[in-house]
């Protein structure tokens, strides 16, 4: 079975798609390993950032944790969203992901990725994010249908903290870095998913 799977690109593509859906639904990351590629990039590894790692089939680029993109994982993913700069005062943003069209076949999530950043001229600061508004109709353990994911953990490889209930309103998260990716996502074909957050930076005590 292993030999047929590795030689059948269609089967491998199907497995990769299933692994991606599994990660999205369970917060468990699955990395592909090909023993024939071991050491391929040993002397030519890309300078991956944000806990990315060298692509096993293309040494010119990296495989990035969710919320990061670009060849070296130092760019915001090209999906919708924006880079926003925090200030010492609370600011807010809202995002709405529209429902799918009637009859639309959707087996993946709509996503928007925001980068909340500390200004370049501010040092020793961290980001705080507060959940202000969330709909309640999407609540499900694990937030598997829709939600907002806030990546405030120091290990960027981990799935972020996910929220999808009005009970989460008022939650405040503090980052360990000057950049926090915020990912809104939805697989709903019938209802739009909207969220509102507030954010700011605070100076760390010496």
Q: Say how far apart CA 182 and CA 197 lie, in whole Å.
A: 10
pLDDT, one tens digit per residue, over 118-155 is 999 998 999 999 999 999 889 988 899 899 999 999 99
Reported pTM: 0.77
Token pair in block for residue 170: 């008022």
pLDDT, one tens digit per residue, over 1-52 is 444 444 567 666 767 776 766 666 555 556 555 545 555 676 778 899 999 9
23-29: Cβ within 8 A, 24+ apart: 23/159, 24/108, 24/109, 24/144, 24/185, 25/142, 25/144, 26/142, 27/142, 27/159, 27/162, 29/157, 29/158, 29/159
Contacts with 72 (C-beta within 8 Å, 6 or more apart), sequence order: 46, 47, 48, 49, 52, 61, 62
Rounded to 5 degrees, φ, ψ at 93 are -145, 155
The pLDDT score that the predictor gives to residue 136 is 84
Q: Say how far apart CA 99 and CA 76 lie, in whole Å.
A: 24
The pLDDT score that the predictor gives to residue 62 is 93
Q: Which helix (H) or strand (E) holds 172?
A: strand 172-174
Contacts with 74 (C-beta within 8 Å, 6 or more apart), sequence order: 49, 50, 68
For residues 88-96, give the mean pLDDT. Answer: 95
**Which CATH architecture is the domain 38-75 placed in?**
Ribbon (2.10)
Between 190 and 7, residue with greater pLDDT: 190
Residues in the chain: 206
Share of the chain above pLDDT 70, in %: 78
- Is it the case that residue 102 has pLDDT exceeding 80? no
pLDDT, one tens digit per residue, over 53-90 is 998 888 889 999 999 999 999 999 988 999 999 999 99
Token pair in block for residue 173: 């998260």
The pLDDT score that the predictor gives to residue 5 is 46
The pLDDT score that the predictor gives to residue 63 is 93
The pLDDT score that the predictor gives to residue 103 is 52
- Is it the case that residue 116 has pLDDT exceeding 70? yes
| DSSP annotation of 178 | S
Q: How confident is the model at residue 190 (pLDDT cuts 50, 70, 90)?
A: confident
Q: Say how far apart CA 36 and CA 15 lie, in whole Å.
A: 18
Q: Say how far apart CA 150 and CA 152 lie, in whole Å.
A: 6
The pLDDT score that the predictor gives to residue 1 is 40
Out of 2.60.120.290, 1.10.230.10, 2.60.120.460, 3.20.20.150, which CATH number does the structure's domain 83-203 have? Answer: 2.60.120.290
- Is it the case that residue 111 has pLDDT exceeding 60? yes
């Amino acid at each position: 079975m292993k030999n047929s799977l590795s030689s059948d690109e269609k089967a491998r593509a199907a497995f990769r798609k299933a692994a991606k859906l599994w990660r999205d639904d369970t917060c468990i990351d699955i990395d592909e390993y090909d023993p024939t590629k071991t050491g391929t990039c040993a002397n030519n590894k890309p300078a991956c950032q944000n806990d990315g790692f060298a692509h096993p089939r293309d040494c010119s680029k990296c495989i990035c944790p969710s919320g990061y993109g670009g060849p070296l994982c130092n760019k915001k993913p090209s999906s919708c969203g924006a880079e926003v700069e925090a200030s010492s005062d609370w600011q807010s943003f809202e995002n709405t992901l529209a429902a799918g069209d009637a009859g639309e076949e959707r087996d993946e999530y709509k996503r928007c990725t925001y980068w909340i950043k500390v200004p370049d001229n501010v040092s020793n600061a961290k980001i705080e994010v507060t959940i202000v508004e969330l709909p309640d109709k999407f609540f499900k353990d694990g937030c598997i249908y829709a939600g907002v994911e806030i990546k405030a953990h120091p290990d960027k490889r981990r799935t972020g903290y996910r929220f999808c209930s009005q009970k989460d309103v008022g939650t405040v998260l503090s980052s360990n870095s000057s950049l926090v990716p915020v990912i809104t996502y939805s697989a709903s074909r019938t209802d739009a998913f909207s969220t509102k957050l507030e954010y700011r930076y605070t100076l760390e005590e010496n």
